[in-house]
Amino acid sequence: MAFKLINAAEARTGAAIMVDGVACIVRTNDISKTGKHGHAKCRIEAIGIIDGKKKVFAMGGHDRLDVPMINKNKAQLMSISGLNATVMDLESFETFELSVPEDLKDDLKEEDQVEYWDVEGSKIIKRKL
């Protein structure tokens, strides 16, 4: 479910957009000039927030893009087993299981506080606090 809609020409570097149902962060947006009878075209390069895959596509400057709902929350690590961690949200005290990213698995230990993102229902640990 999209939070709001923006034009493709308004998608700046660092903005979050939905591409083929996947939440992504815009890396670059190359906007061409308008022609005599045409509209501006945008070539957007984006990186998936959850999967980290690169997506490149072109569209008209006035075409609409969905902006995903991203909630940034804090949690405490209760236990770590392999690549999975049980965390407790520090506001609602809800416990759930998340996968640990490769770049953070050596730094995290029990009772650490982390920031996790809830991106359209998918949760991911982003950094250690």
**Sorting pLDDT into bands at 50, 70 and 90, what band is 30?**
very high
What is the per-residue pLDDT for 35? Answer: 75
What is the per-residue pLDDT for 75? Answer: 93
DSSP letter string, the chain: -EEEEEEGGG--TT-EEEETTEEEEEEEEEEPPP-SS---EEEEEEEETTT--EEEEEEETTSEEEEE-EEEEEEEEEEEETTEEEEEETTT--EEEEEPPTTTTTT--TT-EEEEEEETTEEEEEEE-
What's the mean pLDDT in 112-120?
90
pTM of the predicted protein model: 0.79
Give the chain's domains with CATH numbers.
2-68 (2.30.30.30), 70-128 (2.40.50.140)
**Sorting pLDDT into bands at 50, 70 and 90, what band is 12?**
very high
What is the per-residue pLDDT for 110? Answer: 85
What is the per-residue pLDDT for 1? Answer: 56
What is the per-residue pLDDT for 106? Answer: 83
What's the mean pLDDT in 12-35?
90
Q: What percent of the chain has pLDDT over 70?
A: 98
What's the mean pLDDT in 63-85?
90
What is the per-residue pLDDT for 112? Answer: 87
